Homo-oligomer: A and B are copies of this chain.
Amino acid sequence: MARVRMRDVAEHAGVSVRTVSNVVNGYSHVSPDTRSKVQRSLDELGYRMDYLARGLRSGRTGFIALAVPFVAEPYFAELAEAVIRAAGRRDITVLIESTAGDSEVERRILEGGLTNVADGVLLSALTLPASDIATKKPDFPLVMLGEHSVGDQFPRVGIDNVEAARTAVEHLLGQGCRRIVALGRNGSENGRQRTEGYERAMSAARVRRVNWMVVPVEDWTRDQGYAAVRELLEGDGPLPDAIFAFNDALAVGALRALDASGVRVPEDVAVAGIDAIQESAYTHPPLTSIAPDLDVIAERALALLEEQMQSPNAPEQSPPAEVPREESAAPAIVEDTPFRLVIRDSSAWSPKTP
């Protein structure tokens, strides 16, 4: 059975191809009679739209692309799930692309590598250096997820990383901890911001600088968290009384290392993370974490994307710019979405179940 095209349906129903198209697209001026006749043929032949062909002609594919560094990282997987849910409510299909944390791939996406196949792009950039972001000005709908890009010339949706980190550290301070390790600084902007949140909280609590401690890692993964804490424990410095991990994956690794060394959590060392991935409710002990509202992030990101997709964009016929157009662009859209502090046993003494 070869592919059924509109032409086939048209012949079967005895109408023109255009009329079939009208029925399929719910055009209003079609007589009920014709509509049902066509619909019957449609069903009978099992017609399915060729989205490629439609996309070619109409410029709309019905797809959006979501680019994340690693699909298998729980946070990104859960984010993807939220985006898929939100897109489903809008009859949009999500195409997920993995950048493998490669800045080359991220650059290619910024330059439009996915625009032919997707109407818009959600990019969760990991490594993209500020310089690249600053110079590019994409001519297609794009929304950045989660990362405060320096220039902020693209719309961005995500939690305020500084505030999130500060909230977590404040909580640990509130539990009486003072020697708090910040685990996870790396080259990323995100890492910088979470470091800043840590410093602000420590500073505000007047913790002596000698007790500050920032431990670098390469990636925000379980094994890096494990290795870093392992090293920390083997060192000869005094033990910290808390670990603030920049994400839950690091925290999971940290918990494992502490457990393996017989360090009690939270009695000896309290632990908190960021992301509140599902896994974090099942660690030993369950992990205190900052929970971004992924559904809100996805919803807002899609709304912003749709806004851009609807605006004519007017790339060519824009009237001669009055202002020389140098950085006179619209003010950056930066949406900070809400987050919650989820307190679990890893930082508190009132046991809870997942």
Residue among A61, A98, A315 with max Cβ neighbours from chain B (10 Å): A98
Known contacts A2-B316, A80-B71: does B48 contact A116 (CB below 8 Å)? Answer: yes
User: Are A282's CB and B315's CB within 8 A?
Assistant: no
How far is A253 from B316 in the complex, measured between Cα atoms in Å? 57
Known contacts A72-B77, A74-B74, A116-B52: does B354 contact A223 (CB below 8 Å)? Answer: yes
A264 at interface by CB-CB < 8 Å: no
Closest CB-CB distance, A104 to chain B, in whole Å? 13
A1 at interface by CB-CB < 8 Å: yes
Point out the residues of chain B lying under 8 angstroms from A278, CB to CB: 72, 222
A205 at interface by CB-CB < 8 Å: no
How far is A72 from B85 in the complex, measured between Cα atoms in Å? 12
Closest CB-CB distance, A96 to chain B, in whole Å? 4
A93 at interface by CB-CB < 8 Å: yes
A216 at interface by CB-CB < 8 Å: no
How far is A53 from B316 in the complex, measured between Cα atoms in Å? 22
How far is A21 from B279 in the complex, measured between Cα atoms in Å? 49
A88-128: which have CB < 8 Å to B? 93-98, 111-113, 115-117
A258-293: which have CB < 8 Å to B? 259-260, 278-279, 281-284, 286
A63 at interface by CB-CB < 8 Å: yes
Number of copies: 2
User: Are B81's CB and A98's CB within 8 A?
Assistant: yes
Closest CB-CB distance, A234 to chain B, in whole Å? 13
User: Are A282's CB and B84's CB within 8 A?
Assistant: no
User: Are A116's CB and B49's CB within 8 A?
Assistant: yes
Residue among A1, A53, A72, A73 with max Cβ neighbours from chain B (10 Å): A72
Closest CB-CB distance, A219 to chain B, in whole Å? 13
How far is A51 from B61 in the complex, measured between Cα atoms in Å? 12
User: Are A52's CB and B93's CB within 8 A?
Assistant: no
A239 at interface by CB-CB < 8 Å: no
A154 at interface by CB-CB < 8 Å: no
Map CB proximity to B onto A65-91 as digits: 1 under 8 Å, 0 otherwise: 000001111100110110010000000
Question: Which of B49, B63, B81, B260 lies in contact with A72, CB distance below 8 A?
Answer: B81
User: Are A71's CB and B63's CB within 8 A?
Assistant: no
26 examples of A-B residue contacts, CB within 8 angstroms: A1-B315, A2-B316, A48-B112, A48-B113, A50-B56, A50-B116, A52-B52, A52-B55, A52-B56, A52-B117, A71-B71, A71-B96, A72-B81, A74-B77, A77-B77, A81-B98, A84-B98, A94-B98, A95-B96, A222-B278, A222-B282, A222-B354, A223-B354, A256-B282, A256-B284, A283-B283
Chain A residues in the interface with B (C-beta under 8 A) = 1-2, 46, 48-53, 55-56, 61, 63, 70-74, 77-78, 80-81, 84, 93-98, 111-113, 115-117, 139, 222-223, 226, 252-253, 255-256, 259-260, 278-279, 281-284, 286, 315-316, 353-354
